[in-house]
């Protein structure tokens, strides 16, 4: 796939001046041996438009066909959220030796009373099979338990998305069951696996 295909004449609707990243987000930079997990930035747009418009990227996600315009809108909304006291936090995945985004992770507090949260992730297919996402999700789980003080973190994936549920098992999550017809995707109902991990699981 040619980079930036379909972007001729397209001008993203991002603010003309760089945003001031709020202190809340500056503090939410995480690091692993190979990765920096950082707030999304405007400079990520071109890379996201390259990989996130590939049909294989959103094959199992219940969203419309992605275009450079929809990716720009998505990034714009995420940048706005970073200025709010949102319970949802996105991290760009940036390998230290590359210096640009190759995917993103998300963690969201679903219930403060019950200390429940969920996570999501997506990766540029050019960088699959290198353990990047496993490394990122492991760090995100630590962040969820130690910094957000969650008790339970859950995630779902389409039952045919083998790489995703294999990843969840690698990071110590347990399959709780099948969510039947939980999403309508590309004209048909789809089932998902539900996985979770508890703070106490890490002590076993």
Query: Looking at residue 86, what is its pLDDT?
Result: 77
Residue 10, classed as helix, strand or coil, is: coil
Q: What is the pLDDT of residue 26?
A: 42
Burial (CB count within 10 angstroms: exposed 0-12, middle 13-18, buried 19+), residue 92: buried
Where are the alpha helices (H) located in the chain, listed in sequence order? Answer: 23-26, 45-51, 68-81, 132-146, 162-170
Angle, CA of 137, 128 and 3, to the nearest 5° = 115
Residue pair 124/132 in contact (Cβ under 8 Å)? The answer is no
Instruction: Determine the pLDDT at residue 82.
Output: 82
The per-residue pLDDT string of the chain (204 residues; one tens digit each, 9 = 90 and over) reads 333 333 333 333 444 433 343 344 445 799 999 999 999 999 999 999 999 999 999 999 988 999 999 999 999 999 988 877 679 999 999 999 999 999 999 999 999 999 999 999 999 999 999 999 999 999 999 999 999 999 999 999 999 999 999 999 999 999 999 999 999 999 999 999 999 999 999 875
Domain extents in the chain:
23-203
Has domain 23-203 been given CATH number 3.40.630.30?
yes
Beta pairing, strands 174-185 & 88-95: unpaired
Strand 152-158, strand 35-38: pairing: unpaired
Strands of the 35-38 sheet, one edge to the other? 30-31, 35-38, 88-95, 103-111, 116-123, 152-158, 188-198, 174-185
Q: Which pLDDT score, from 0 to 100, does residue 133 have?
A: 98
Contacts of 5 (CB under 8 A, 6+ apart): 53
């Amino acid at each position: 796939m040619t980079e930036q295909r379909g972007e001729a004449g397209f001008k993203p609707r991002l603010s003309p001046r760089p945003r001031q990243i709020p202190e809340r987000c500056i503090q939410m930079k995480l690091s692993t041996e190979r990765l920096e997990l950082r707030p999304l930035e405007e400079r990520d747009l071109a890379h996201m438009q390259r990989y996130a418009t590939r049909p294989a990227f959103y094959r199992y996600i219940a969203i419309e066909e992605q275009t450079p315009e929809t990716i720009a809108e998505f990034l714009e909304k995420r940048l706005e959220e970073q200025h709010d006291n949102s319970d949802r936090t996105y991290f760009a995945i940036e390998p230290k030796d590359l210096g640009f985004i190759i995917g993103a992770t998300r963690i969201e507090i679903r219930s403060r009373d019950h200390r429940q949260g969920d996570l999501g992730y997506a990766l540029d297919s050019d960088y699959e099979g290198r353990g990047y996402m496993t490394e990122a999700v492991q760090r995100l789980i630590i962040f969820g338990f130690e910094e957000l003080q969650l008790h339970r973190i859950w995630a779902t994936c389409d039952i045919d998305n083998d790489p995703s549920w294999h990843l969840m098992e690698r990071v110590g999550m347990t399959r709780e069951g099948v969510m039947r017809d939980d999403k309508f995707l590309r004209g048909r109902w789809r089932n998902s696996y539900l996985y979770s991990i508890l703070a106490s699981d890490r002590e076993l």
